[in-house]
Amino acid sequence: MSALALAALAVAQGELAKGVRGGGPGWGRFRGIEVDAYQRSVGLALSPNPKVEGHPWCAAGVYACFEQACSHVDIAADGATETPNPCPRTAGALHMWDTSPLTARTQLPEPGAVFVLDHGKGKGHVGFVSAVSPDGLTITTVEPDTNASGSTTGDAWGEHLWAPADGARGRLVGYLVFSPSAC
């Protein structure tokens, strides 16, 4: 397991615990103080009017969690005070997979890994694996831009237990395990 990936998962769990979401009172869909920060962290332009709709933000949320985790001294490489973020700076779930180092890609889930789903026509979804069943068939995930029913554009952080092999949430592309050595 990657200490960096587990640190990013811990950041994501913190966002879930805080109840971070978009689309609250006075905000457009895919907008909110934290959600806007995620989107800006990957270079997305947003209207200065917070009531104007933003963008789906799952990949931006994952990137932001790694960005924060990279500042933890205890996981920095070679005694440095900061680790370069190995997670691709992108707002696209499938683009995250396509631009990730081959060494980060796997078909086996583990806590801290980023799952990547393909919904067809260039659309996808990403989030963090927080637990894997003993038989490896079901995973518990912490996801940005979801909701209680498991939508992949639900505008909140959520936690889900699901079986990737059944395809109900999309085609599983694979998992990404980012570590400082993946840079």
Contacts of 104 (CB under 8 A, 6+ apart): 86, 176, 177, 178, 179, 182
132: closest CA among 151, 117, 112?
A: 112
pLDDT tens for residues 127-162? 999 999 999 999 999 999 998 888 888 899 999 999
- pTM, two decimals, is 0.94
Mean local confidence (pLDDT), 2-7:
93
The chain-wide mean pLDDT, for the chain, equals: 92
d(CA 92, CA 74): 29
